[in-house]
Amino acid sequence: MQEYAQSFTVESLADAVQAMLDASPAGLPPEWRDSLEQAVRRSRGRIPPHLFYATVEQAPVAISITDPDANILYVNPAFERVTGYGRSEVVGSNESLLSDKCTPVHIYQDLWRHLLAQQVWSGTLVNRSKSGVRYVAELVIAPVVDEGGVTRHYLGIHRDITEFHRLEREALNQRQRVESTIDLAPMAIALVDLAGDVVLENRAYQRLKNEMGVEPRELLAHHLGMRAPGDGSAFHDEEVSFEPGEDRPTRWFSCSGTWIREMDDRAGAFFAPESRRHLLLVMQEITRIKQQQEEVRRNALRALIAEEARVHGLRESIAAAGFQLLGPFNMLKAALGILERRGNEEQNAPVIDVLRQALAAGQQALEVLRTAMPNEQPEAPVRVNVNQALRDVLSLLTDRMLALGVEVEWRPAPQLPAAWGCENRLRAMFKQLLDNALDAMDAPVVRRRELRVVTTVSDDAVRISIEDSGPGIPDELRIRVFEPSSPPRRRAPMRAWVSPW
Ligand code: FAD
pLDDT at 479: 81
Digit-by-digit pLDDT tens for the chain (501 residues) are: 333 333 344 455 555 555 555 655 554 555 555 655 665 665 555 666 677 778 889 988 999 999 999 999 999 999 999 999 999 999 999 999 999 989 999 999 999 999 999 999 999 999 999 999 999 999 999 999 888 999 999 999 999 999 999 999 999 999 999 889 999 999 999 998 888 889 999 999 999 999 888 888 887 775 555 444 455 578 888 888 887 776 778 889 999 988 888 888 888 888 887 788 888 999 999 999 998 998 898 888 888 888 887 888 888 888 888 888 888 888 888 888 888 887 777 777 888 888 889 889 888 888 888 888 888 778 889 999 999 999 989 988 988 999 999 999 999 888 888 888 888 888 888 998 999 899 999 988 888 899 999 999 888 788 999 999 988 888 888 888 776 554 444 443 333 332 333
Residue 259's pLDDT is what?
87
What would the pLDDT profile of 93-109 be if each residue is shown by its tens digit? 999 999 998 999 999 99
What is the per-residue pLDDT for 22?
Answer: 60
Of 433, 466, 429, give the one whose Cα is nearest residue 450: 466
AA letter at 466: I
CA of 85 to the centre of ligand 1 (A): 18
Residue partners of 207: CB distance under 8 A and separation at least 6: 188
274 near 181, Cβ under 8 Å? Answer: no
Q: Ligand 1: which residue has its CA nearest to atom 11?
A: 109
Residue pair 111/141 in contact by the 8 Å Cβ criterion: yes
How far is the C-alpha of 433 from the C-alpha of 402, rounded, in Å?
A: 18
Rounded to the nearest 10 degrees, what angle do helices 423-441 and 386-396 cross at? 50
**Is the Cβ atom of 136 under 6 angstroms away from ligand 1?**
no
Neighbouring CB atoms inside 10 A of 210's CB total 8
Pocket lining: 137 vs ligand 1, CB cutoff 6 Å: yes
Rounded to the nearest whole angstrom, what is the distance from the C-alpha of residue 105 to the centroid of ligand 1? Answer: 9
62 CB less than 6 Å from ligand 1?
A: no
CB 156 within 8 A of CB 125: no
Collapse the DSSP code of 128 into the 3-class scheme (helix H, G, I; strand E, B; otherwise coil) and give the result: strand
Q: Are 441 and 407 in contact (CB under 8 A)?
A: no
Indicate which residue's Cα is closest to atom 4 of ligand 1: 108
Say how many Å lie between the CA of residue 97 and the centre of ligand 1. 9
Query: Among 82, 90, 112, which is best to mutate for testing ligand 1, by the most ligand atoms less than 8 A from CB?
Result: 112
What does the alpha-carbon distance between residue 257 and residue 190 come to, in Å, rounded to a whole number? 10
Number of other residues whose CB lies within 10 A of the CB of residue 27: 9
| Minimum CA distance residue for ligand 1 atom 16 | 112
Atom of ligand 1 nearest to the CA of 100: 25
Terminal C-alpha separation, the chain: 104
**What pLDDT, on the 0 to 100 scale, is given for residue 63?**
94
Q: Which helix (H) or strand (E) is 244 found in, with range? A: none
The CA-based angle 275-277-279, given to 5 degrees, is 155
Model-level pTM? 0.59
Residue nearest to atom 12 of ligand 1 (CA): 109
Strands (E), 325-449: 382-384, 407-411, 419-421
User: Alpha-carbon distance 253 to 237, whole Å?
Assistant: 9
Our CA angle for 498, 500, 501, nearest 5°, is: 115
Rounded to the nearest angstrom, the distance between the alpha carbon of 95 and the centre of ligand 1 is 7
* Ligand 1 pocket residue status of 128, Cβ below 6 Å: no
Residue 37 is predicted with a pLDDT of: 62
Helix segments in 122-279, DSSP class H: 162-184, 203-212, 221-224
Span from the CA of 185 to the centroid of ligand 1 (angstroms): 48
Q: What angle do CA 305, 308, 314 make, to 5 degrees?
A: 140
Residue 376 · residue 411 · CB < 8 Å: no
Dihedral angle computed from the Cα positions of residues 14, 20, 22 and 28, in that order, rounded to the nearest 10 degrees: -110
Ligand 1: does its nearest atom lie under 6 Å from the Cβ of 70? Answer: yes
